[in-house]
Structure 1
Amino acid sequence: MQSPQMKMPLWLDKRAFLTPERPAIEVNGEKWNWAWLNKEAKGIARRLGSIGVSKGERVALLMDNSLNMVAVIHALSYIGAILVPLNNRLAAPEITWQLLDAEAKLLLYDSAFQEKVAQVDVDKTKVMAWSEMLTYVETDIDLQTHIELSDIHTIMYTSGTTGRPKGVILTYGNHWWSATSSMLNLGLNTEDRWLVCTPMFHMSGLSILLRSVVYGITAVIHKDFDPVKVNQAILQEGVTMVSVVSAMLSRMIEGVTMEGYPDHFRCMLLGGGPAPRPLLEKCRERGIPVFQTYGMTETASQVVTLSPEDSLQKLGSAGKALFPTELRIVMGMKDVAPGEEGEILLRGFNVTQGYWKRQDATEKAIQEGWFRTGDIGRLDEEGYLYVLDRRSDLIISGGENVYPAEIEATLLSHSAVVEAGVTGVPDDRWGEVAIGFVCVSQEKNVAEQELILYCENRLARYKIPRRIYFVKELPRNAANKLMRRQLLHLLSRKQDEGVNEE
């Protein structure tokens, strides 16, 4: 949705010119400034050029969060090649399918994934370990120093709820406006240190990396999420901003005293779906500045965020649409009144133009210039968004809409429950009924009927879970988001075992 033929300087090249000595990235104590990162990225770009990678071709990365991954992402921009970040939790057949769909020229991988890559079978994709790529001599190729905002930067595959994943097309303009919108809401402090503890093959991690080069701030990168290390980074290493989902934040606050975090910490961005109110209240008690967000791969990260001044008075809201994005709540394509539930529609410069080679999915998702998110929400009288659930996760019981997130929040408010997931199962009388899965604290004992009674005292009758199963862990993706569609796999496993583990 950005203006055609709109050029600007390539971000890393411009940043290295503006602030060459300012710290750019930090991994395990190793620090690169913008000048050094620029040098490394250009060197990798010239090596990729000698391999034969050129503008517009897709390059897939199967890598962990690292300095190398940061450098190669920026190197692709110097060539004009398109980044295809692969989820390193995928099985070899899933990787094979995505490489074929993207028509990738090259798969570049970390040696840790050698065994998995050996099972990948794609004739037209060159497969190369990072160490092998470094043996190539830098070729004297022309590196682009300007970008078109309409050019494709990323094809990122969504996990999807049914069928094959879709490749979301994101342009430089999508990423630029995402960074700009976030800054207009949260402000810009050149001393900020934004922690990346989610995978950079997901939008949450990648968006922080791209914002850092636009803003000129430091990205502190962790290989993966460790609540102890994240708290240490905030308490002792000057991290000022972190992006997490509810499950991550729950584990973090277990190690935080009532004194909370130091004054320099200014922003805990909380995404990944509706947040349980008990969790938000715990953070408020500790003075932790939690800003709920709403976004997705198709919007290049957050598109709705609670403003700092509203973080307490609008507890539970994701906020208002960031400038200049627009938001509607509709039934069909007709707007509903404030307070009424409907589908969330979005329009803005950071919203995808569609899906890679999926015209059918693109036409279904983008109608009359608006992106249909498939999520259910409502706006209050002041225009604040409350996200209720994914439409695909909605349970319709006896004609009533039942939102899993609401039941999960109720279960999580019980002192014994650490994690909760809710999904629907067929029922002869009601069509569907809710069932719950919980992980409980080892220090506390609780029975299924106790939790059901707890829900009965707090929820309408049609929302009460028919059964609650005790499990050791819930299915989550690499970004720690709950995967409700996989909860029924836990049910079939427990039926095979013939037990309800307590």
Structure 2
Amino acid sequence: MEAKPWLKLYPESIPTTLDYEEKPVQTYLTEAARKYPDKVAVHFMGKEMTYRQVYESALRLSNYLISIGIKKGDRVAIMLPNSPQGVISYYGILYAGGIVVQTNPLYTERELEYQINDSRAKAIISLDILYPRISKVLKHTKLDHVIITAIKDYLPFPKNLLYPFIQKKQTGIVVQLKHEGNIHLFKKIMSVSQPEPHRIEFDFENDLALLQYTGGTTGHPKGVMLTHKNLIANATACDAWLYNAKKGEEKILGLLPFFHVYGMTTVLILAVMQGYKMILLPKFEVETTLKTIHKQRPTIFPGAPTIYIGLLNHPDLSKYDLTSIESCISGSAPLPIEVQQKFEEVTGGKLVEGYGLTESSPVTHANFIYGKERVKGSIGVPWPDTDAKIISAETGEEAAPNEIGEIVVKGPQVMKGYWNRPDDTAETLKDGWLYTGDMGYMDEEGYFYVVDRKKDMIIAGGFNIYPREVEDVLYEHPDIQELVVVGVPDAYRGETVKAFIVLKDGSNITEKELDEFARKNLAAYKVPKIYEFRKELPKTAVGKILRRVLVEEERKKQEETKILE
């Protein structure tokens, strides 16, 4: 097969290979503060900070971390929503020579304890309302220090005075802590520490910047080791893909959480690298997001399909002006073509589907944003300096065009390995190739397609059924807002197809009508045998539907039925 046929598809404005500046991630903040000192770097609920202010705050934090014993290579956890403190903490840890451990604020005590112990983090930076949870795991970990901030610390007047009352009403949690012992207050650190730069030597190629934990759908989450080179390579490629974007001028909506690698690379790193304004939202609320877009006029909006779906289905969508949006890359889940088309109609911008995984920092493929139409159903083509191929499950060799196999990728964004898991690393990384666990194919032109996760494939009566194919068809029905298809145990077929569906408001479509629609568009063996209507589906913080949760629910139902019998 011709090597890298997709390169012929590249527009002239995208280089097929890129130059990567061999410097640590935090250097880009230093440079942004020099180039754009008075430009707004962060907007958060009415509060704005310039690049100079963010830079100096990150230096204050880094010096404080060093003063309490954080050394190069030590892990420091961040357990924060998107906020100015999240930006400052990320770069402050890197300036101190530390390795960032991004931690989901929604973690339970058990999940938090596992991640802190697995990473052997020495400190954690978190919110006051999360301290009760942290305090319960402290004695079971090696944490030496806890740094606490509050949302109100970075709110403008009078919101900073009102927010504690709102927070108490919403959560019932009131935390009063003093800056003493191993408890440190973020606000106090900013007043007592100096913004003096210091020199720490970095190995661009090998030094870790981040331990990013995978979702852990099977077994315990694994810490993905991402180097400074991995992250810079992916952000540089993202910039090359967005070649119409203007340095120092774009405004990027920071809705994807920074504790997810997609939000971290495409917002937290890319924005600083290019001098963009970050418009941060601590969580996805449809109306708040619409109001923010209407008022703040972001031009770039990385997101996930469920986010775009949520916005498009808001009853008052027409009241908001979304036409500032020019470029969006959707990730983390398949993007239905109907969602793309409607979103582009509403905004006048471009929305395309990309593909990646935590182990690749995360992006490896995307459709072209400018000049070319998205190829229906395709995740696009590999990014600059990224190689990809399909490995046949039957032969273990490279598959022919349009033959389904496992997608494997290679490139400068591919992880160093899994933290303290050499066996898992050896199983996933082979001769520099990352085995993704996703099944797909490449067409003759070089466009790639994902048919499903290897583990999600349904085998019913001997037939291989890929949930995504069924989902793509059902998404074409105008009454469906969200759905997910899973395989459930079946005494006769081994497995059968079940669809969990969220209908649009006002819809009263029946199971029979959906079944008729599916039968017109799918082979009989692929048609769902069971439909379950729900008000909502379980999701990750980034909006990815948790298929495994639904599979586990079904498994438990089956077990309970057997017990009753």
TM-score by length of 1: 0.92
Q: Work out the CA distance in 1 between the residues paired with 2:331 and 2:135.
A: 35
Write 1 or 2 for the structure with the bigger share of strand.
Answer: 1
Q: 1:96 to 1:302 in 2, by over 3 A?
A: same
Q: Distance in 2 between matches of 1:14 and 1:448?
A: 58
Identify the match of residue 95 of structure 1 among 95, 103, 112: 112
Distance 2:114 2:374 in 1: 47
The one-letter amino acid paired with 1:399 is: G
141, 158, 174: which one aligns with 2:214:
158
Query: Which 10-residue stretch deviates more, 54-63 or 120-129?
Result: 120-129
Post-superposition shift, 1:48? 1.3
* Alpha carbons of structure 1 residues 123 and 314: separation in structure 2 relative to 1, 3 Å: closer
Distance 2:106 2:23 in 1: 36
Say if 1:142 and 1:16 are closer, same or farther in 2 by CA, change over 3 A: closer
How far apart are residue 127 of structure 1 and its match? 4.4
The residue number in structure 2 matching 1:195 is 253
CA drift at 1:464 = 1.0
Aligned to 2:271, the other structure's residue is in SS state helix
Rounded to whole Å, the distance in 2 between the matches of 1:140 and 1:220 is 24
Instruction: Give unmatched runs, 5+ long, in structure 1.
Output: none
Matched ranges for 1:220-299 at <5 A: 220-255=279-314, 256-257=317-318, 261-262=322-323, 264-286=324-346, 287-299=348-360
SS at match of 1:357: coil
Cα distance in structure 1, aligned partners of 2:99 and 2:350? 36
Change (3 A) 1:497 1:365: closer
Q: CA deviation at 1:145?
A: 6.2
Q: Counterparts of 1:39-438 in structure 2 under 5 Å?
A: 39-120=56-137, 121-131=139-149, 132-134=184-186, 135=188, 137-138=192-193, 143-144=198-199, 147-150=202-205, 151-187=207-243, 188-190=245-247, 191-207=249-265, 208-255=267-314, 256-257=317-318, 261-262=322-323, 264-286=324-346, 287-309=348-370, 312-332=373-393, 333-438=396-501
What letter is aligned with 2:259? F
Deviations 1:266-305 (A, max 9, x none): 1121111222233233235444411111011111122211
Q: Give me the whole-angstrom Cα distance separating, in 1, the residues matched to 2:390 and 2:82.
A: 37
Amino acid corresponding to residue 57 of structure 2 in structure 1: E
Unaligned runs of 5+ in 2: 1-17, 150-183
Shift of 1:252: 1.3
- Are the aligned partners of 1:242 and 1:268 in contact in 2 as well (CA < 8 Å)? yes
State yes or no: 1:12 paired with 2:29.
yes
Alignment partners' CA distance in 2, 1:42 and 1:78: 7
**Structure 1 residues 154 and 313: alpha-carbon distance in aligned structure 2, compared to 1, 3 A threshold:** closer
Task: Tell me how far apart the structure 1 counterparts of residues 122 and 416 of structure 2 sit (CA, whole Å).
Answer: 23
Q: CA deviation at 1:454?
A: 1.9
The structural deviation recorded for 1:491 is 4.0
User: Which residue of the partner structure matches residue 536 of structure 2?
Assistant: 473
- The whole-number CA distance in structure 1 between the counterparts of 2:371 and 2:421 is 39
Where 1:144 maps in the other structure, the secondary structure is coil
Report how many aligned residue pairs link the two structures. Answer: 496
The 2-side partners of 1:380 and 1:488 are apart by 31
Are the counterparts in 1 of residues 113 and 141 from structure 2 also a CA contact under 8 Å? no
| Identity level (%) | 30
Worse overlay, 132-141 or 434-443: 132-141
Q: Do the aligned partners of residues 55 and 337 (structure 1) sit closer, same or farther apart at CA in structure 2, a change above 3 Å counting? A: same
TM-score by length of structure 2 reads: 0.82
Deviations 1:108-161 (A, max 9, x none): 211121222132143411241424233454379872366432210000110122
Give the superposed CA RMSD: 2.6
Shift of 1:492: 6.7
- Give deviations 1:434-476, integer Å, cap 9, x for gaps: 1111112341212223222221121111111121112221111
The 3 A distance-change label for structure 1 pair 406 and 259 is farther
2:330 aligned counterpart, secondary structure:
strand
Q: Give distance in 2, aligned partners of 1:146 and 1:15.
A: 20
C-alpha distance in structure 2 between counterparts of 1:442 and 1:282, whole Å: 17
